[in-house]
Amino acid sequence: MKIVLSGIKPTGIPTLGNYLGALKNFVKLQNEMKEDEFFIFVADLHALTVPQDPKELRSHIRNLCALYLAVGLNPENLTLFIQSEVKEHVELGYLMQSLVYMGELERMTQYKDKKQKQVEGVSSALFTYPALMAADILLYDATYVPVGRDQMQHLELARTLAERFNHRFGDTFIVPQGIEPKQGTKITDLQNPTKKMDKSAENDKGCIYLLEDLNKIKKKIKSAVTDLDGCIRFDKENKPGISNLMTIYAAMSGMEIKEIESKYQGCGYKEFKEDVANIVVQEIEGIQKKYQEWIHSPQLDELLDQGREKAQHVACKKMEVIRQKMGYGR
Ligand code: AMP
Ligand code: TRP
């Protein structure tokens, strides 16, 4: 039995990018790996790396819990929990900070990007965030970590830290492997197709949120930025808008990009966008229905309580071993 683990930050309503880069892949893996155990959590401590409105944060945490289930995660072999409810993340996060080098953190492209965009003070937590992420993973001895492309660099660092720890203190951690989805590893903004679709984007016209009005979603797809070439062909460099829509279509339908190219040969952008909009809206509609059931169900809290107990149990045992190896405490 292997452990598959992943998390999402509750910094807003999850987007189509989160869905295709992460959530949909979690469900697919869960269906394929029935013998393995899934630890999926809400990374609320990570959300605090940038300023949050406390009320909104609370509601985003709950929304994300309900969404995890609404997209189809099966509670049977799932430990669903909220990161901050398991204090060991913070302890191991600190230990990882003692292990990671400044230079390694400075090389993280997400940090460099965010630092550039942020007008007011950049918190030190934003800088040390990959150490906490490594702790999230190593605490549970996860073998597989499904994430989108933007998280691969952080995952590499988690591997480095696991190896460094094992080398210094003896074999303790499993060195985790990242799993990227086949398609949808990076969904870009519909208005700005060279940028990642991000729930914290300033302009929401290019971003599709899983809980927004279905007509609005259709409109956003139909007004996605394309090019003047008029040909449905995958070319990220010269046709980023159309290529992004093709990626979305492929990830939604399970079709290969090549198949989409031949299916839409000679077809106009308008018709293609219409089809993309339909396939997206159809799937999101189903998710929204299930979301409404989960968000109002007392079973959600029951699952979160069970998840917390289970995660605490595993984390507590692991921390005992770690303290012993590192020699701090009594
Ligand atoms: P975040 O919203 O940054 O907490 O990301 C949660 C998960 O969604 C991570 O696995 C990311 O790699 C994935 N993700 C976020 N945005 C995108 C995107 N635009 N395309 C693909 N995957 C994404
Ligand atoms: N850093 C991830 C993100 O922003 C979320 C995350 C936190 C995560 N801890 C994790 C993902 C551990 C996988 C494993 O998307």
CATH code for the domain of 278: 1.10.240.10
What whole-number distance in Å separates Cα of residue 67 and Cα of residue 10?
11
Q: How far is the CA of 148 from the centre of ligand 1 (A)?
A: 5
Residue 194 lies in a domain: no
Is residue 173 domain-shared with residue 27, that is, in the same domain? yes
- Residue 202, pLDDT score: 75
- Residue 218, pLDDT score: 97
Residue 171 lies in a domain: yes
In tens, the pLDDT along 12-65 reads 999 999 999 999 999 999 999 999 999 999 999 999 999 999 999 999 999 999
**Counting every residue, how long is the chain?**
330
Is residue 20 domain-shared with residue 169, that is, in the same domain? yes
Is residue 233 domain-shared with residue 306, that is, in the same domain? no
Is residue 149 domain-shared with residue 48, that is, in the same domain? yes
Residue 124 lies in a domain: yes
Please answer whether residues 288 and 211 qualify as being in contact, where contact means their C-beta atoms are separated by less than 8 angstroms.
yes
We report the CATH number of the domain holding residue 11 as 3.40.50.620
Which protein residues touch ligand 2 with a CB less than 6 Å away? 5-9, 43, 46, 133, 136-137, 145, 147, 151, 154
Q: For the stretch 76-96, what's the b/e string if a residue is b when 16 or more beta carbons lie within 10 angstroms of its beta carbon? A: eebbbbbbbbbebbeebbebb
Structural domain including 209 reads 204-292
Q: For the stretch 168-194, what's the b/e string if a residue is b when 16 or more beta carbons lie within 10 angstroms of its beta carbon? A: ebeebbbebebbbbebbbbbbbbbbbe
Please answer whether residues 138 and 93 qualify as being in contact, where contact means their C-beta atoms are separated by less than 8 angstroms.
no
Q: How far is the CA of 204 from the centre of ligand 1 (A)?
A: 16
Is residue 56 domain-shared with residue 144, that is, in the same domain? yes
Q: What is the pTM of this model?
A: 0.94
Q: How far is the CA of 151 from the centre of ligand 2 (A)?
A: 7
Residue 256 lies in a domain: yes
Is residue 31 domain-shared with residue 119, that is, in the same domain? yes
Is residue 30 domain-shared with residue 15, that is, in the same domain? yes
Is residue 159 domain-shared with residue 22, that is, in the same domain? yes
Residue 147 lies in a domain: yes
114 is annotated as an active-site residue:
yes
Residue 190 lies in a domain: no
Please answer whether residues 87 and 136 qualify as being in contact, where contact means their C-beta atoms are separated by less than 8 angstroms.
no
Is residue 221 domain-shared with residue 264, that is, in the same domain? yes
Is residue 228 domain-shared with residue 302, that is, in the same domain? no
Among candidate residues 9, 24, 112, 114, the one labeled active-site is: 114
- Residue 199, pLDDT score: 86
Please indicate whether residue 148, judged by its CB atom, sits closer than 6 Å to ligand 1. yes
- Residue 259, pLDDT score: 96
Place of tokens 């007509």: 215
- Residue 117, pLDDT score: 80
Among candidate residues 24, 196, 239, 273, the one labeled active-site is: 196
- Residue 225, pLDDT score: 96
Angle 133-137-157 from CA coordinates, rounded to 5°: 55
- Residue 175, pLDDT score: 98
Residue 199 lies in a domain: no
Name the domain count of the chain: 2
Is residue 273 domain-shared with residue 225, that is, in the same domain? yes
Residue 75 lies in a domain: yes
**Tens digits of pLDDT across the chain (330 residues):** 999 999 999 999 999 999 999 999 999 999 999 999 999 999 999 999 999 999 999 999 999 999 999 999 999 999 999 999 999 999 999 999 999 999 999 999 999 888 888 777 889 999 999 999 999 999 999 999 999 889 999 999 999 999 999 999 999 999 999 999 887 689 999 999 999 999 877 788 999 999 999 999 999 999 999 999 999 999 999 999 999 999 999 999 999 999 999 999 999 999 999 999 999 999 999 999 999 999 999 999 999 999 999 999 999 999 999 999 999 998
Please answer whether residues 172 and 22 qualify as being in contact, where contact means their C-beta atoms are separated by less than 8 angstroms.
no
Is residue 119 domain-shared with residue 247, that is, in the same domain? no
Q: Residue whose CA is closest, atom 11 of ligand 1?
A: 148
